[in-house]
Chains A and B, each alone.
Chain A
Amino acid sequence: MKTCLIVDDSRVIRKVSRHIVETLGMSAEEADNGRTALDHCRASMPDVILLDWNMPVMSGIEFINALRASPEGRKPKVVFCTTEYDPGHIREAIAAGADEYVMKPFDQETLQLKFELIGMA
């Protein structure tokens, strides 16, 4: 079973995402900011990471920069999932190594189609 790490400071978003991810047949783990997500990845690297941008302690973009700096951190697919919509932010995320980008709000089908795109569904 594939594992998905959901990184978001909103408990509600984590709950909604967990439901969708589990419906898609993956197991879900949660982290509430980039720092705890990094700790999680060091302990056990997920297959996919669903990543918010604005979070306390460590933001999504800081997290992905740190993650992609190590060889094993290049393996998981990273899908940004945020309220940042402008092309500047999106380009920055892609340049930092994100595989896909979802603009909130999203629904199950959108996420499923994005997971198909990165070969995860």
Chain B
Amino acid sequence: MTKTELHQLAVDMVSKLLHRRTGQALSADRHWRIDTALETVLRHRGIRSSEDLIVLLTEPGDSGFKEELVEALLNNETYFYRDRQVFDHLAAEVLPAMAREKGASRRLTIWSAGCSTGQEPLTMAMILLDQGECWKGWDIDILATDVSGSAIATARRGVYSNFEIQRGLAVGQMLTHFEEGAAGWRASDRLREMIRFERRNLLEGPPSGAKFDLILCRNLLLYLDAGARRVACGTLQSALAPHGRLLLGGGETVLEHSEMFRPVKGGCGLYKLTGERLAEPARRTA
């Protein structure tokens, strides 16, 4: 085998590893990302040849090397209030509707699936805190998960640089909900207490426990191939409460799984369970 062939083999193995672990398929024109990621991780580990790399990739189990490689390949891009109109819509329309629907139990469960470094669940927590009175006495549980261990570790720390904190966040909210310290801007204890962070792969099924009234799965499905998307949608479907809502990222849809989800009219990327419509008596007689 020539050097180029060995390199190509290594790239293919990494691409398969990424797919196996996360469901992400890198098309051939995105294979440069593998080269970039490999360069960083290999330099860090002192690995010089494609042979050595292939040996490591073929070893059973994982000494942390494969994980490091996969994490280097994940796109963790996120910021506070990403797509602000969507969060404005949640705050003005969706959450008040949910407050009415769930008024009897006064319990609200939210899941941020693919939360990256925590800005998305923190945005939800800030919205709920800022709505104050409306949620007084409610039992609110926000679960935030990501397949990336390093992203979850950052999210748990809840400390953001000047650059990160001001991306999308209004200065008033920054002063209200974060404290400035030597390491950066730290989310207040009130915010942190609202969120449970867990490392979790969306392809490995729903979290145990109660179902969710609202699931945010934004800017994640677009990276998955068709097979993995189906599995991920299955996870989301079984985790969603009967009247729950699923929120996707801008430009994402689950329309190809209309047997599972239907879009909410005028809902900025919101979906509900398809089965729910069949259960509505008015529809049955119509």
A residues with a Cβ closer than 8 A to B are 85-87, 90-91, 94, 98, 100-103, 105-106, 109-110, 113-114, 116-117
Contact = CB atoms under 8 A, between A and B. Distances in A.
A110 B180 contact: no
A85 B168 CA distance: 17
A65 to B, nearest CB: 18
Q: Nearest 4 CB-CB pairs, A to B?
A: A101-B171, A103-B162, A113-B168, A117-B170
A5 B172 CA distance: 23
Nearest to A99: B171
Contact of A106 (B81, B84, B166, B172): B166
Contacts of B167: 109-110, 113
Interface string B141-176: 000000000000000000000110011101110110
Interface in B51-100: 79, 81, 84
A74 to B, nearest CB: 18
Contact of A87 (B84, B162, B166, B180): B180
A69 B162 CA distance: 31
Which of B84, B171, B174 is most buried by chain A, counting CB atoms within 10 A of its CB?
B171
A91 B170 CA distance: 13
Contacts of A85: 162, 180
Interface of B: 79, 81, 84, 162-163, 166-168, 170-172, 174-175, 180
B170 A100 contact: yes
Contacts of A101: 166, 171
Contacts of B79: 113
A84 to B, nearest CB: 11
Contacts of B163: 103, 105-106, 110
Contact of B166 (A86, A91, A102, A116): A102
A94 B176 CA distance: 13
A91 to B, nearest CB: 7
Nearest to A88: B180
Contact of A103 (B81, B166, B168, B175): B166
A114 B166 contact: yes
A56 B171 CA distance: 26
A116 B84 contact: yes
Contacts of A113: 79, 81, 84, 167-168
A56 B162 CA distance: 25
B172 A94 contact: yes
A88 to B, nearest CB: 9
Contacts of B162: 85, 103
Contact of B171 (A86, A90, A106, A109): A90
Contacts of A94: 171-172, 175
